[in-house]
Structure 1
């Protein structure tokens, strides 16, 4: 029973310490990582992932922006 409880705690902690777009958004493309040059169109943000980051664990939004996973991939 103790191992089960510890496993649940580890899973919950890993979910809380991760960010939604990084975990559930799939592979990060080069378009998402590259900052747009002056005069280029800005990258679109995944609104659902941003709201989930803010509600569930706001430091996850920092991770998403740092990795570029918060931005929508180019179609």
Structure 2
């Protein structure tokens, strides 16, 4: 029973710390990490990843925005 409790705790922590754009979005480019200067166009957000973050575990959206993974890479 003790092993099961530890396994369940690790599983729950793993699920709570996941965020869609960081995990499934691929490598984060310099364009995604850099905040646009005044007068430059704003970066586009990956809408599907944002909705998935909000539905599955909303603090994951904070991580995605902090890492820049939530933004679409430049073409």
| Normalised TM-score (structure 2) | 0.85
Q: Which residue of 2 aligns with 1:40?
A: 40
Give the alignment's Cα RMSD to 1 decimal. Answer: 1.7
1:68 aligned onto 2:64: no
Match in the other structure for 1:26? 26
Aligned length: 75
Distance 2:47 2:2 in 1: 39
Query: Structure 1 segments of 4 or more deviating over 6 A?
Result: none
Offset at residue 3 of structure 1 (A): 5.4
Q: Does 1:52 align with 2:52?
A: yes
Secondary structure at the aligned position of 1:35 is classed as coil
Q: 1: CA distance between counterparts of 2:23 and 2:12? A: 14
Q: SS of the residue aligned with 2:39? A: coil
User: Could you tell me how far 1:18 is from its partner in structure 2?
Assistant: 1.8
Mean alpha-carbon deviation: is it higher for 29-38 or for 1-10?
A: 1-10
- In 1, Cα distance between the equivalents of 2:72 and 2:58? 19
